[in-house]
Amino acid sequence: MKPEDILAEALRVVREGGTVLYPTDTVWGLGCDATNAAAVARIFEIKQRSDSKSLVLLASDLDMVAKYVKEIPSIAVDLVEVNDAPMTIIYPGAICSETGDKWHLAASCVAADGTVGIRIPLAPWCQQLVFKLGRPLVSTSANISGEPTPQRFSDIPQEIKDAVDFVVPPSVDTASTGRASQILKVGLRGEIEIIRK
């Protein structure tokens, strides 16, 4: 398959409520439409992870982020503008819904305190997927909960590959670093907490 055909198929699967295994700018991820509660529940099932733990999401840009959080702290805008490495920002005031629709995040994507972790990916293929989807994409590491995070496609357990609806071929991966992103939690008054460097 050509890269554009792979992108089209991944997009079709996600739009139809399916799950994908795909390369991000950090590690290989399990993904789905972050506004589809049933698809998000399937991700937790595949990872054998409690849904009390929130998920990292990918957004194409700050405009997309603004649709899913009540307010973007100005410090977050500054951080995104100077960022040149994978960075997940935990925003306050996530807009979510138990029932779900394309304008609300699935409630299980959001932490108990109402925050949500969102990264704008640096990898072009991944960014195109999120942009064309038009809403946030779940991005959680492709491993069983509690197991080591796979550094390469070949490290991903076969049970994960078998469980998703579509596996993006590893030939598409030109940007995964194999390392997790830094994580910063920001507040509306300019507070910053470093969760992971």
Q: Where are the domains of the chain?
A: 3-196
Which CATH number fits the domain 3-196, given the four candidates 3.90.870.10, 3.30.465.10, 3.40.630.30, 3.40.50.2300?
3.90.870.10
pLDDT at site 185: 94
pLDDT at site 49: 84
pLDDT at site 6: 94
User: Residues near 37 by Cβ (< 8 Å), separated by ≥ 6?
Assistant: 98, 99, 100, 106, 107, 108
Say if residues 83 and 136 touch (Cβ distance below 8 Å). no
Structure tokens at 120: 């704008």
Regions of the chain with pLDDT less than 70 = 52, 99-100
Q: What is the pLDDT of residues 125-146, one digit of tens each?
A: 899 999 999 999 999 999 998 8
Q: What is the pLDDT of residues 98-112, one digit of tens each?
A: 766 778 999 999 999
Rounded distance, CA 121 to CA 112, Å? 25
CA 50, distance to chain mean position in Å, is 17
pLDDT at site 56: 95
pLDDT at site 99: 65
